[in-house]
């Protein structure tokens, strides 16, 4: 019976690609037992990789063609996918809905926090590459936009952030317009970034045993070690049933010692996430560098199950720690039990950002190509747009649904908001409807507030948005690419506001908006769209 059940589990892997596929496409039962019987640990490690799938097989049956079907009792845990059979949905996402159109005469001011995350885009890419559509709740359009770097001008003078704006026709809705708001964090050369005090906080619980989880993270952390300067420091904290310090804070000139510690990592046990977070903050505070780059980098699937483990409890814990000058980056990994809902909120409330790691190329993006994001040049960054009711009849902020702020929060320096890293760009789009017989005058005012990392007083920036819309075809590369990415997000979210958006439209919008594309991310986007259903 055990052998037959394992055969069924392997069939489910191959049929639904619950794991990465890259590691398991050609597995045969005999391969599991090829090793010497004396190597019990190796055998158990391989068998553990199938455990989550084996459990899913319980309650399954086969159809007339031998395909594995899930019992109907599991149906309430499934997420619908319009082009594919229903798949097991044990991953956790929060459905924030979509911002609606607001009449300017009723409410002319829109206020929200910036969002520096890119996780939703790479997570969606993972679904698409496995032949699945993402659950709509997994799609956060602002994270699609902010996955990419836009060609925005550098800040001037003493500022560490620049702002810009543009308006053009909306390609998916006749007689509507798009207003793009852009922000860019000051680019600081790697040699000029302050010394770093990093703490790697690594989930080594049993749920992390799959190759696309812990092993992928270990590869990424080694890439980051290679980028460390001799004066940077790194500590490693692990957590499973309890938290432990694997490596005390060690300078970057001891790279072999740090990598040896990373090589020791292995998965097993339950997940005491809160204890690990507390230990990581203790280590970060112990080795705190005044005016330095103090950051915890958490790698996990988010499957916390020991001690305080609810999103609310973990967020409360993080909020108590975020004012100590230590930033937090959250790296999500894995398939099947990913707790996106928890990790996105932890990063949001912890002065940090959230990325999803699905492959080696994404590791290089996060740890090498865009490592400047690990150093914040602006914190508590907020946006407030005041629309001119004589010109704008109604407006809709696309995305940022869980970043909304009250109007009074904008000038309240005690209210937490988002961070922007070195050379990082942030983009937001509004879809707007103009009034009939629109008079001359600006569409509105784009106000922005942020704090420099070592201060607690915000700095204001302001820009009038001129009422000079261009056709989408003659707009800037920034606008056309942003519109294409947004249209793709609307389709993936199955948005009621997607209008006439289509794959063909997206490819047309982005065809001549690739820019320099140094690392090929925009070209990859077009390939992803081309291959999507």
Report if residue 470 sits inside a domain: yes
Same domain, 278 and 382: no
Q: What is the pLDDT along the chain (533 residues), one digit of tens a residue?
A: 444 444 444 445 444 443 333 333 333 333 333 333 334 444 444 444 444 334 433 343 444 333 333 333 323 332 333 333 334 448 999 999 999 999 999 999 999 999 999 999 999 999 999 999 999 999 999 999 999 999 999 999 999 999 999 999 999 999 999 999 999 999 999 999 999 999 998 888 888 888 889 999 999 999 999 999 999 999 999 877 666 889 999 999 999 999 999 998 886 655 545 677 888 889 999 999 999 999 999 998 876 654 444 556 667 767 777 678 889 899 999 888 898 988 898 888 878 899 999 999 999 999 999 999 999 999 999 999 999 999 999 999 999 999 999 999 999 999 999 999 999 999 999 999 999 988 888 999 999 999 999 899 999 999 999 999 999 999 999 999 999 999 999 999 999 999 999 999 999 999 999 999 999 999 999 999 999 98
Name which of 322, 319, 347 is nearest 118 in CA terms. Answer: 347
Measured distance CA(450)–CA(455) in Å, rounded:
10
Same domain, 399 and 482: yes
Whether 307 and 393 map to the same domain: the answer is no
Q: Is residue 279 part of a domain?
A: yes
What is the number of domains present in the chain? 3
Choosing from 373, 401, 419, the residue where a domain stops is: 373
Residue 447 lies in a domain: yes
Residue 63's alpha-carbon distances to 5, 14, 340, in angstroms, are 16, 16, 33
Backbone angles phi, psi at 486, to 5 degrees: -65, -40
Spatial distance between the Cα atoms of 347 and 331, rounded to a whole number of angstroms: 9
Q: Is residue 478 part of a domain?
A: yes
In a domain, residue 139? The reply is no
Residue 80 falls inside a structural domain:
no
Residue 220 lies in a domain: yes
Claim to verify: residue 391 and residue 367 sit in the same structural domain:
no
**126 within some domain:** no
Secondary structure (3-state) at 286:
helix
Residues 336 and 415 in one domain: no
User: What is the DSSP pairing of strand 376-387 with strand 444-451?
Assistant: antiparallel
Q: Are 343 and 330 in contact (CB under 8 A)?
A: yes
Dihedral pair phi/psi, residue 180, rounded to 5°: -100, 130
Gyration radius from the chain CA atoms? 24
Q: What is the CATH number of the domain that holds 402?
A: 2.60.40.1230
Q: Are residues 228 and 177 in the same domain?
A: no
Provide the domain limits for residue 299.
Answer: 190-373
Write the CB contacts of 55 (distance below 8 Å, at least 6 apart in sequence): none
Statement to judge: residues 300 and 350 lie in one domain = yes
As to burial, measured by CB atoms within 10 angstroms (0-12 exposed, 13-18 middle, 19+ buried), residue 224 is: buried
Same-domain pairing of 447 and 337: no
Query: 310 and 413, same structural domain?
Result: no
**Same domain (yes/no): 365, 425:** no
Structural domain ending residue among the three candidates 318, 341, 373:
373
Q: Read off the CATH number of the domain in which 345 is found.
A: 3.40.50.410
The verdict on 252 and 305 lying in the same domain is yes
Domain match, 347 and 291 both: yes
Strands (E) located in 350-401: 352-357, 376-387, 392-398
Backbone dihedral angles phi then psi of residue 239, each to the nearest 5 degrees: -150, 135
Q: Of 324, 344, 373, which residue sits at a domain end? A: 373
């Amino acid at each position: 019976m055990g052998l037959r059940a394992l055969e069924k589990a392997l069939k489910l892997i191959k049929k639904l690609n619950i794991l990465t596929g890259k590691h398991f496409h050609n597995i045969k039962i005999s391969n599991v037992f090829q090793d010497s019987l004396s190597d019990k640990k190796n055998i158990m490690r391989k068998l553990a990789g199938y455990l989550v799938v084996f459990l899913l097989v319980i309650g399954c049956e086969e159809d007339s063609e031998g395909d594995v079907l899930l019992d109907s009792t599991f149906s309430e845990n499934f997420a619908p996918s319009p082009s594919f059979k229903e798949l097991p949905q044990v991953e956790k996402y929060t459905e924030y809905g979509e911002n609606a159109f607001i009449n300017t005469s009723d409410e002319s001011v829109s206020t929200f926090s910036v969002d520096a995350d890119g996780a939703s885009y790479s997570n969606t890419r993972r679904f698409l590459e496995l032949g699945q559509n993402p659950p709509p709740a997994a799609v956060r359009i602002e994270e699609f936009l902010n996955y990419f770097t836009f060609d925005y001008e550098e800040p001037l003078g003493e500022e560490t952030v620049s702002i810009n704006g543009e308006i053009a026709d909306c390609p998916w809705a006749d007689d509507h317009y798009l207003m793009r708001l852009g922000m860019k964090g000051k680019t600081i050369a790697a040699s000029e970034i302050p010394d770093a005090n990093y703490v790697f906080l690594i989930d080594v619980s049993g749920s992390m045993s799959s190759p696309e989880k812990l092993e992928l993270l270990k590869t990424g952390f080694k890439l980051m070690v290679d980028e460390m300067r001799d004066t940077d420091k790194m500590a490693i904290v692990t957590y499973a049933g309890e938290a432990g310090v694997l490596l005390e804070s060690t300078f970057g000139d001891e790279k072999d010692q740090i990598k040896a510690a990373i090589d020791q990592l292995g998965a097993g046990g339950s997940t005491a996430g809160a204890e690990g977070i507390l230990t990581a903050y203790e280590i970060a505070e112990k080795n705190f560098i005044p005016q330095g780059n103090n950051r915890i980098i958490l790698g996990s699937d988010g499957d916390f199950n020991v001690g305080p483990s609810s999103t609310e409890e973990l967020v409360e814990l993080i909020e108590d720690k975020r004012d100590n000058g230590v930033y937090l980056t959250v790296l999500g990994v894995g398939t099947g039990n990913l707790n996106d809902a928890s990790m996105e909120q932890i990063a949001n409330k912890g002065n940090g950002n959230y990325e999803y790691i699905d492959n080696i190329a994404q590791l290089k993006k996060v740890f090498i190509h865009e490592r400047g994001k690990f150093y914040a040049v602006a914190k508590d960054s907020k946006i407030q747009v005041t629309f001119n009711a004589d010109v704008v009849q109604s407006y809709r902020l696309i995305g940022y649904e869980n970043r909304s702020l009250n109007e009074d929060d904008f000038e309240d320096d005690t209210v937490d908001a988002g961070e922007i890293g070195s050379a990082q760009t942030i983009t937001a789009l509004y879809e707007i409807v103009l009034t009939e017989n629109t008079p001359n005058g600006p569409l509105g005012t784009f106000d922005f507030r942020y704090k420099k990392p070592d201060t607690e007083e915000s700095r204001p920036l302001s820009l009038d948005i001129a009422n000079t819309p261009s056709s989408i075809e003659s707009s800037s590369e920034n606008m056309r690419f942003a519109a294409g990415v947004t249209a793709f997000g609307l389709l993936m979210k199955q948005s009621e506001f997607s209008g006439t958006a289509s794959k063909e439209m997206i490819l047309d919008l982005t065809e001549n908006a690739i820019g320099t594309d140094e690392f090929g991310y925009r070209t990859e986007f077009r390939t992803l769209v081309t291959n999507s259903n």
